[in-house]
Amino acid sequence: MTGARYDAVADFYEAGWTDAYEDPVSEAFFELLGKVADLRVLDSACGHGRITRELARRGADVVGVDLSAALLGKARADEERQPLGIQYVQADAASDSLLEGKIFDTVVCSFGLSDIDDLDGCISTVARLLRPGGYFVFSLLHPCFPGGGEVSGSWPSTETYYDEGWWAADGRSSSLRRQVGANHRMVSTYLNILAVHRLYVDVVVEPMPPREWSEQRLAVACLPVFIVVRCVNRLVAEAQSSTPE
């Protein structure tokens, strides 16, 4: 069911999210990642491969995982046209058998966590696949963004921030989330699940939206819209602290 709802918007994804990275969220995302050349990187919920391709262009050895066959079809077609050495795998990002036996230096997820119904399973998988001391970097529509007017926020206009669950946007200016919906979760839910799986929050950035977006939406532009987070697999710290002197 989850795969099917994203299969239906593959063309929309490809047309709306191109290989351009000058927006504030992408800039913050790649700044937190730092240099990725020669690193093995997993892009979880990679969609049509927009972030995956840029990672490969920056020298990373990249694997992209997504549940949607249609979105991966777009990614694989682009890889055939312009080979970057990317491996794409159709699978559930929350599967406890995903890429079993593999280890990555870095795991990323660009606006994908709210698309994944089983958040605990996904974060558990990230922690299992990430080497000790490795980075997990993700971006989201800010869970605290309330929306307003024609712009949908992170939760339904008929409910509150505290009402978690899947929902479909109703704002006329919303596009993707009107079609596939999203899972709203409180900030505390994300933080607590990361902590359970020993992923230490290292840096948090709340990028301002592009100026043209803000100028058209002055009533909501002063509110937090996006969030980018870098976590560290703190198993390395635990290993070091248990090493005899």
pLDDT at 213 (0 to 100) = 76
Residue 130 per-residue DSSP state: E
Both ends of the chain: CA-CA distance in Å? 53
Residue 178's pLDDT is 66
Each residue's pLDDT tens digit, 118-163: 999 999 999 999 999 999 999 999 999 998 877 888 998 889 999 9
244, with CB counted inside 10 A (0-12, 13-18, 19+), is exposed
**Averaged pLDDT of the chain:** 90
Q: Where residue 166 falls among pLDDT bands split at 50, 70, 90?
A: very high
Taking each helix axis from N to C terminus, what angle separates 119-129 and 187-196, rounded to the nearest 10 degrees? 40
Domains (ranges, CATH) in the chain? 2-241 (3.40.50.150)
Q: How many CB atoms lie within 10 A of CB 60?
A: 27
- Whole-structure pTM value: 0.91
The helix or strand, by DSSP H or E, that contains position 183, with its residue range, turns out to be: strand 182-184
Q: What percent of the chain has pLDDT over 70?
A: 91
User: In 3-state terms, what secondary structure has residue 112?
Assistant: coil
> Cα–chain-centroid distance for residue 170?
22
In this prediction, residue 3 has a pLDDT band, given cuts at 50, 70 and 90, of: low
Q: For the range 204-213, what are the long-range contacts, defined as Cβ-Cβ under 8 Å and sequence gap of 24 or more?
A: 204/228, 204/229, 204/230, 205/28, 205/31, 205/32, 205/229, 206/142, 207/24, 207/25, 207/27, 207/28, 208/24, 209/24, 210/23, 210/24
The span from the CA of 110 to the CA of 217, in Å, is 24
Q: Does residue 99 come out as left (phi exceeding 0), alpha (psi in the -120 to 50 range) or beta? A: left
3-state helix, strand, coil in the chain (%, to 5): 35, 25, 40
Say if residue 170's pLDDT is above 80: no
